Amino acid sequence: MKTLNVADMKCPNCVKKIDEALTKADLKHEINLDSKTVSIDGCDNCLAKAFDIIKDLGFTPEKNA
């Protein structure tokens, strides 16, 4: 799994918003509010797609090194 940091994901509503968008895009993912991360199961293209979706929702995702 590849991970994105989403520092401005602050509450369960943020998680729900991201979860619904990634599910709609058919991306396998896990969201951890405590660590403020979104893990994507798939290729680099899947990670890029998730990055764009999360950014379009108004969050500021960052790729883990």
CA distance 51 to 55: 6
How does pLDDT run along the chain (65 residues), one tens digit per residue?
899 999 999 999 999 999 999 999 999 999 999 999 999 998 889 999 999 999 999 999 998 75
Structure tokens at 4: 């994105």
Note the pLDDT of residue 42: 85
**Contact assessment for residue 60 and residue 49, using Cβ atoms and an 8 Å cutoff:** no
Structure tokens at 35: 């660590």
Q: Which domains does the chain have, with CATH numbers?
A: 2-63 (3.30.70.100)
